[in-house]
Amino acid sequence: MGDMLYTVKTDIGWMAVWADDRNLLGLGLGHQTEPQAVRALAKKCRLLSSDPPWKDRPHAGWQDGLLQRLVDFAAGQRTDFADVPLDLSRLTSFRRRVVEACRGIPFGETATYSQLAVRAGSPQAARAVGTTMAQNWYPIVVPCHRVIGADGTLRGFSAPRGILLKQRLLKLERASEGYPAPSHNV
């Protein structure tokens, strides 16, 4: 089948999913229109084709389950993405460790960039962790929205609406868990 591009409309906007038979290759979220989601993901992941491969509905395989889970997550349902296979072959070993450490941040919780650096085995690399999160090809599945500044503030988020969307994702998770919003205005 090769790699294909899928789209789905959610409560937080259109999402585009780039996947092959075995792995998630990229994900974009929070767009107002389907074409915006496709263009943004193609640019972000530097898809080689000017006309990305497109999978018409109905979808087949593991991608269907992922699309439904993304819809559920955006609707505020507790959703786990730990089993979603990722293609990490384009990442350095440091970035792979950061991605895996980020995937370990529990639903509804946060970690600082420094804490993530420690978890990735590079305690002095908080800035490099920030760069890795800013270039995350798999948002939500690799929950970079759960990574916050050392002072508890929300820092950049590359999706449309930036920090406002990051805040909304954290609120969705906290509400799903029945927790009050955290004190740092999430």
- Which residues are catalytic, by number? 144
- On the question of a cis peptide bond just before residue 58, with omega within 30 degrees of 0, the verdict is yes
Strands 111-112 and 24-31: unpaired
Alpha helices (H) along the chain: 34-44, 62-74, 93-103, 113-119, 126-134, 162-177
Pull the structure tokens for residue 29. Answer: 């979220």
Cβ distance 40 to 107 under 8 Å?
no
For residue 125, what are the contacts with CB-CB under 8 A and spacing of at least 6?
A: 94, 117
Rounded Cα gap, residues 19 and 176, in angstroms: 28
Which residues, in sequence order, are bridge partners of residue 5?
18, 54
User: Which among 18, 184, 154, 32 has a CA at the least distance from the CA of 145?
Assistant: 154
